[in-house]
Structure 1
Amino acid sequence: MKNTNRNKQQLPASQREALLNTLKARFEKNMHRHKGLDWANVQAKLEDNPGKLWSLNEMEDTGGEPDVVGYDKKTGGFIFYDCSAETPKGRRNLCYDREALESRKEHKPEDSAIDMAAAMGIALLTEAQYRELQQLGNFDTKTSSWVQTPAAIRKLGGALFCDRRYDHVFLYHNGASSYYAARGFRGALSI
């Protein structure tokens, strides 16, 4: 179900409650992702940050299945990653960034990964974050996900993506303007 409040960044009470219930159920089902963390603390932080809750709803609406994967002691924030088995369905067929999108002469995708993430209020996973996620399960065994690309690589026209094949996590490169039905992006959000 698409969020009709995309630009308001505030969820109606009923939608907020439904999202909190979904996140709580996922949190309790996957305790191995966040050992030692308590849902009551996560929920309190979410309720104090309606804009971040809106971003989590965007992650959920696009198929990301966000879940808590850590706690940052320095900031006191809970870290959420997209934990869907495959790259989120609502975030596929995207080139890497705006420059790549504008460089395409024909067959342009609807959006870019960087622009979509920014509109959602999240960031693409870094390679390190992607590898951390893969320690929690087997993700992207049939799909792949764009990851943050160093400026030096991007300047030369490339972009990076990762996936899991043969029980190993691989990092690859491609032209930033490329896009595929099985490639999207995973996001990170700290609350």
Structure 2
Amino acid sequence: MTTTQQRAFLYGPVLFGAYGVIRLLDGIDGVKGPGLAWTAGHLCFLAGLAFFAQGFAAMRRSAVEKVAGRDRWSLAGLWIGGAGIAALVVQFGADIVTGLISADHAEMGDRVGDFQALPGVELAFYILGPLLFFVGQFLLTGRLAALRTLKVWAPALVLADSLLSYTVKDLIPLGAVMLVLSYAPLWRGTADTSRAALVKA
């Protein structure tokens, strides 16, 4: 795994955490968006997604190398997680655009509502799509834990982060900390991704 790939496992969660903190600060006055904080927070999240896309691909590659062949579990995680990333890009991209072209929170809410009212949009990009991101991430983390690349408790932390981030958005910063801990062996470069280590174990 290259240094760039290793950093993706740190930068992705940190940027998610930054989004969560900015989101909390943006809501101090009781209203979230539009404005600089709204746009900056969403851009942090989009940048985080880019690093997660890179990380998912690296996790898939690590699993394949360790088993020295095809690995359907990690492949499923990559495709499911990738679909979730695509959905979140659309959702957050729409939030940024509506924030930039709206004069106030009420107008922004109306524009977002109009977008969600389009056939299939709410299900694909706000309900099912984001869920796929968490499912894919859990599958990939679980696979690497099974292959002893990650700690056995890493999938539990990832699952906890998913539940927190999906149900209670104010806890996104806490969830980001869980991800940093889960992926520590990867971003620190201490994970053993060799097949010999698996055979020995």
Fold shared by both chains (TM-score > 0.5): no
Q: TM-score, normalised by structure 1?
A: 0.28
Q: Quick check: which one's helix share is greater?
A: 2
Q: Quick check: which one's strand share is greater?
A: 1
More RCO (CA 8 Å, sep 6+): 2
Which of structures 1 and 2 has the bigger CA Rg?
Answer: 2
